[in-house]
Structure 1
Amino acid sequence: MTPADPWLDDEQAPRTVRHGAWSVQLTDDSVDEIRYGGTLVLRAVRWVVRDENWRTVDLVVTHRPLPDGGEDELILAVEGRSVDPAVGVVLTGQLVLRPGVLRYEITGSVRHPFRRNRFGLVALHSPEWAGTPVTVTHPDGTGSDIVVPEEIAPHQPARDIAALRWRVGTLAVEMDVVGDVFEIEDQRNWTDASFKTYSTPLSRPFPVELGPDDAVTQAIEVRCAPSGAGPGRPASAAPVPAGASQHEQSWVFPEIALGASTAPDSAALDSTGPDRRWPGTVLVELDLAAANWRAALARAAGEGERLDVRFVCPGPAPIADAVRSLAGHPVARVGVVDGATHVSEPPLVAALLDALAGMQPGPEPVLGTRAHFTELNRTIQRLDLPDGAGVAFSLTPQMHDRSRRQVIESVPVQRRVAEQAVALAAGARVHIGPVTLRPRFNAVATAPAPPDPAIEVSAGYGAEFVPEATDPRQVSDGVAAWAVASAIALAVPGVVSLAYFETCGPRGVVTAAGELLPMGRAVEWLAELSGGRVLASSPATTADPVTHVAVRTSDTLTVLAANLSAGAREIEITVGAGSPGELTHSAGTVGRVADRDGVLTLTVPAAGAVRWVRS
């Protein structure tokens, strides 16, 4: 690990291209930060391929200038392919920039038969698009007016789209979509920092078989012109912090839990050891359709002091027996979801409550979804919460995109998701987790995933194994900073527990040798704040990815700060007069600190996290 690569992902900086009033950033698979006269018009346009199970196919796209553009026109040739040659996606097209007009036209094809759920262009709009009036033109030429929702929309804000018109400041923007019918999705449901205009409508049957003769051509054309200030968001306004809020009184920092290990090799348990047993709650998901779920329960019980158990059920029949199996284990919470819908369906909830009725005092029932906030947002109205029950959902920043930018920009959206979840819970306690870098299972698969011959499943455990669920950045300093920033974003009044990562194994907080990883140290820091009073909290925003929280526990004042930006940052926090504090860094190094007249000045390294403690 080197200071120059704190994320360990070798991502290259985007290349900026300017022509006239236009500027864009070109990455390996996308045209990003589309601006006209300095005003952000679109967050990105890109070609997206999703297979029959909604897995994203990784693409590599190049943009090469062509000499035939005139003085007022810049033409870039576009060539792309799938990273996996077995998939065989081929892209050709052009990016054209001329005064007031940007056109991105792509033809996509496949060399081999391929079953796709999505195959075409998407346009991403920034979170600041929320609240903007938009005129929608439909394929039949009729129009309708919408306002992009401020709250995270459970369903598509607009369908049947041929063109969109809106204003940003004094700029009028028109966007035509060609080659298919498009619709809009609120990707904040998955903690993406975007709204998405995409094809093909979800109302059409999928998957669709593509063959070598089935070329698909689509285009997105954006036109910009000066216009009188209208009802759109003013361009000069500061970006709206996604979910930022001010709380007049302090509140309790949530409990920090870990996910149970899903490592296929039981030798990974050696890395926990007596010194690495988590001194708190371990969240374990038990698939009651698996023959060895009891072994998975016993394994998880050895990884922490108490359990948060989530049953995944094919139906209500096995629930009573599963609850009886918890006897003798310290259990804080018990939840139940359907194995197909991933939601707490009413028959399962009734069976769980009946089984828990005989346990006095019993664990807290937890209802909701083992999948994304999306499912909670769409089903909360039919979730009949009994008194004393909590609400749960999980979180991953990489449902749609694996880029570092996506991981970082998900953090401010997590704050908005947490606050909306608290509002939906209507007074019930909210539990968020597992929080993982990559999806730990495919919540939208339309068919079972083929077995991965590289994975050897141990016979004694009922863990779930998902190809590509482990992010190589898991061991990096950047992820330690991300964990701190994520917890600060999610730690809002009403959220009472957060479960991160796993105890050990490829997605664990320690190495196979038992050494604590940087993000493991960050999670330990967060756990020390559990139950303390939050005195100050500054969550990351879309404009500023630097965050901190100050928490008092007993007679100790702790400040955690994280910096997700590319350069070191200095922050000031008022902590009041007192004895000097001690500063540590998640990577084990000591950073710079000054404490004068009760004002703490911390220098937080790029992609780093620091802790300052005063007893």
Structure 2
Amino acid sequence: MNTQAIKLFGTDEPAPTQRLLTAGPITATLEDGQLRWIRIGDAEAVRAIGFLVRDRNWSTPTPEVSDLTVKETRGGFKVAFDALWRTADGTFSARLSYTAKASGTLTCEAVGAPAQDFQTCRTGFVILHPLKGFVGKPVTIEHADGSVATSTVPEEIVPDQPFLLVRAMTHSPLRGVKAELRMEGDTWETEDHRNWTDASFKTYSRPLSLPYPYPIAKGEEVRQSVTLTFTGKLPKAPAEGSGPVTVKLGEASGKMPRIGVSVLPEDARAAVRVAPLVKAAGVQHINCRIDLRDRGWDKPLGDYAKLAKETGAEVVLEIIIPGDDTPAREIGAAGKAVRAAKLKPAAVVVTPAADLKSYPPGTPHPDGIPTWEAVASATRRTFRTARIGGGMLSNFTELNRKRPPNKLFDFITHRTSATVHAADDRSVMETLEAVGQIIHSTRAIIGKTPYRIGPSHIGNSFNPYGAAVSENPNGGRVTMARVDPRHRGLFGAAWHLGYLGQVADGGLEAATMASPVGEFGIAYAKQKHAQPWFDTTRGAKVYPVYHVIRGIAGAAGARHVGAVSADTDRVRVLAWKKGKTTHVWLASLRDETVDVKLRGLPKGKATLMMLDAESFEAAARDPSFGDVGEPFKGSSVTLGPFAVARLDITG
């Protein structure tokens, strides 16, 4: 067992090997058969170019790379390799090459075929565009028919594709420099990847207007290419390495959000068993779900009532109705069972089951889905003393595609997941950038209606885009899986801190993150899946994320303090003031040590709490570990890999 890896990631599965490649002013990182973070000088021009295979449930397997050759010269680099993808429908193999020249070109080529008749939702090159330097900027599109149009990349997240029938795309990543992407081998279009919490726009082949999943016959060849060409006054040298990160505190503005956890029906009884730890975490609410499609759907209600009583937290009741009868009858039945269980929810959110699924642009919603108005009316009549929420119990994607009427609900909500399209460590952390833009776009949709977000997790509690979540029996980094081992590690604590920082900056009323127990738990309990270190360590009680939830929950209603990290890709910050004490939380988002320079700190007596690999075991055994810090002097902090720190200054 690699104990260090377990502490960081919850798994000792090795992280993918990365190799930095250089061709004059161009740099790119080779990882798992993709070229990532393609830069021209200091500017990121393309987030990634990779040939992907997505199975019938939209899950994205990692390719098995073999026969890899990498040649680097003063004039550029060439990478060639074989790739094999395995899905439930069989295998697909391809030969790929990436050739870059110092003069400013990068050519990506692939030719492949399945070993048998094959079902896929997408197979081909995918191009990711970064948000910085792309969103809100001009872009020139050459369409498949040869026509050319100039447009602007949308700032607010759009529910459909902003660019269709694309052959080439040109934008300016750097002053005086143009970057043209030219695609061959299919018809391409671009979607706003931020819908799924990805920090990118995505250009891909095979339009979504065509049926999917679709077949590729045994031996049928797929041949594609993508060429990136830089023109203009190119930099003379590639980007330099990263140094310290500066964090600057600003003025107090707004209030800190209320914090809650969520419970699914299958975890209700186990959640009651850890009620003392949930109470100690100080969460203000617990989202509790019932699904009227399930046999015995009312049985968890007694446990929910007990959990509320033992923790003192409010219950936000999530109700999924089948939509087979009228909303009045279905919601009325739920209300009768809730009263029988002596459960008194403070808020209720009802969604028809059909709205848990995704309906891409051009795909009509099924007939007979109850209207927003009918659901809201029936819910208010049934739960007269509760606040009534609207929105989606699925991802922001679905809220953006089916927007609720203004002024109908007391608050609007949706959830997010960090592993819909990619599950590598950098991509998961990059979703934090998209969370901020989702919050901005949701505000534009709902106006002044109060806004709550969650339950949000790294993993997926269900799959809106396919028949089921992905299996993850070995505890690896898997897209669309319910179990994600990083939730248990320092990685999970850092991700949650970064997420809650975005929530606080966005002025949300409340956020629901993690669960009492289970795959998204804050408290350790035995599970069907293996939990390395925790399963074999006497006295293990909580995961690192517990201390983040406990710490931020204690700030609810306090004055939020604006704080800015100069490099949010590496360090996230969250600050507030309560009484005479200013609290500053920091999180490292990388598997590396980073020095943080602090600016704008108030004067006073300071202490520092550090949650890192060194303190991991003590923190896992002691739920109150994060309450106490060591005396601190100075204006800089060194964070280890995925470390979380809290600085308290009183004065």
1:547 corresponds, among 561, 572, 576, to 572
SS at match of 1:323: helix
- Tell me which residue corresponds to 2:98: 95
Structure 2 vs 1, CA of residues 37 and 499 (structure 1 numbering), >3 Å: closer, same or farther?
closer
SS at match of 2:79: strand
Q: Distance in 1 between matches of 2:321 and 2:40?
A: 52
SS at match of 2:90: coil
Q: Distance in 2 between matches of 1:18 and 1:556?
A: 48
- Tell me which residue corresponds to 1:131: 136
Counterpart of 2:548 in structure 1: which amino acid? A
Counterpart of 2:485 in structure 1: which amino acid? P
1:311 CA displacement? 1.3
Correspondence 1:406 to 2:427? yes
In the alignment of these two chains, the number of paired residues is 582
- Tell me which residue corresponds to 1:341: 355
SS at match of 2:431: helix
- Tell me which residue corresponds to 2:227: 221
Structure 2 vs 1, CA of residues 530 and 452 (structure 1 numbering), >3 Å: closer, same or farther?
same
- Tell me which residue corresponds to 1:594: 632
1:428 corresponds, among 414, 434, 449, to 449
1:534 corresponds, among 557, 560, 569, to 560
Which deviates the most, 83-92 or 112-121? Answer: 83-92
8 A contact 1:89–1:109 mirrored in 2: yes
1:579 CA displacement? 4.3
* Cα shift readout 1:152-191 (whole Å, capped 9, x = no counterpart): 2222110001111222322222221011000111111222
- Which structure 2 segments of 5+ residues have no match? 240-246, 358-364, 474-478, 527-539, 620-624
Structure 2 vs 1, CA of residues 300 and 556 (structure 1 numbering), >3 Å: closer, same or farther?
farther
Structure 2 vs 1, CA of residues 121 and 614 (structure 1 numbering), >3 Å: closer, same or farther?
same
Counterpart of 2:165 in structure 1: which amino acid? D
Which deviates the most, 100-109 or 560-569? Answer: 560-569
- Tell me which residue corresponds to 1:155: 160
- Tell me which residue corresponds to 2:462: 441
Q: Distance in 2 between matches of 1:373 and 1:339?
A: 16
8 A contact 1:319–1:352 mirrored in 2: no
8 A contact 1:126–1:194 mirrored in 2: yes
* Cα shift readout 1:353-384 (whole Å, capped 9, x = no counterpart): 33423645x1111111112212222222xx22
- Tell me which residue corresponds to 2:301: 297
Correspondence 1:369 to 2:374? no
Correspondence 1:357 to 2:381? yes
Q: Distance in 2 between matches of 1:298 and 1:245?
A: 48
- Tell me which residue corresponds to 2:483: 470
Map 1:140-289; keep pairs closer than 5 Å: 140-168=145-173, 169-226=175-232, 250-261=253-264, 268-269=270-271, 272-277=274-279, 279=282, 280-289=284-293
- Tell me which residue corresponds to 2:639: 604
Correspondence 1:583 to 2:609? yes
Q: Distance in 2 between matches of 1:349 and 1:247?
A: 42
SS at match of 1:193: coil
Q: Distance in 1 between matches of 2:608 and 2:104?
A: 55
1:193 CA displacement? 1.3
Q: Distance in 1 between matches of 2:265 and 2:332?
A: 25
1:46 CA displacement? 0.5
Structure having greater relative contact order (Cα 8 Å, sep ≥ 6)? 2
Map 1:567-578; keep pairs closer than 5 Å: 567-578=593-604
1:428 CA displacement? 0.6
- Tell me which residue corresponds to 1:319: 331
Structure 2 vs 1, CA of residues 70 and 402 (structure 1 numbering), >3 Å: closer, same or farther?
closer
SS at match of 1:530: coil
Structure 2 vs 1, CA of residues 170 and 55 (structure 1 numbering), >3 Å: closer, same or farther?
same
Q: Distance in 2 between matches of 1:392 and 1:139?
A: 39
Map 1:108-123; keep pairs closer than 5 Å: 108-123=112-127
8 A contact 1:583–1:593 mirrored in 2: no
1:276 CA displacement? 3.9
Q: Distance in 2 between matches of 1:79 and 1:453?
A: 25
Q: Distance in 2 between matches of 1:573 and 1:301?
A: 46
- Tell me which residue corresponds to 1:459: none
Counterpart of 2:183 in structure 1: which amino acid? V
TM-score (norm 2): 0.81
Structure 2 vs 1, CA of residues 150 and 374 (structure 1 numbering), >3 Å: closer, same or farther?
same
8 A contact 2:494–2:644 mirrored in 1: yes
Q: Distance in 2 between matches of 1:498 and 1:607?
A: 22
TM-score (norm 1): 0.86
1:141 CA displacement? 1.3
* Cα shift readout 1:72-98 (whole Å, capped 9, x = no counterpart): 564322211125586312121221223
Correspondence 1:502 to 2:525? no
SS at match of 1:156: coil
8 A contact 1:332–1:363 mirrored in 2: yes
8 A contact 2:607–2:629 mirrored in 1: no
* Cα shift readout 1:519-561 (whole Å, capped 9, x = no counterpart): 11111111111111113333x5765432222223356543222
Q: Distance in 2 between matches of 1:452 and 1:96?
A: 36
- Tell me which residue corresponds to 2:46: 42
SS at match of 1:350: helix
8 A contact 1:591–1:604 mirrored in 2: no
- Which structure 1 segments of 5+ residues have no match? 230-234, 237-243, 455-465
Structure 2 vs 1, CA of residues 324 and 531 (structure 1 numbering), >3 Å: closer, same or farther?
farther
Q: Distance in 2 between matches of 1:308 and 1:219?
A: 50
Q: Distance in 2 between matches of 1:183 and 1:32?
A: 20
Structural RMSD (CA): 3.4
Q: Distance in 1 between matches of 2:377 and 2:251?
A: 37
- Over the matched positions of the two proteins, sequence identity in percent amounts to 23
SS at match of 1:491: helix
2:436 corresponds, among 395, 405, 415, to 415
2:109 corresponds, among 105, 108, 121, to 105
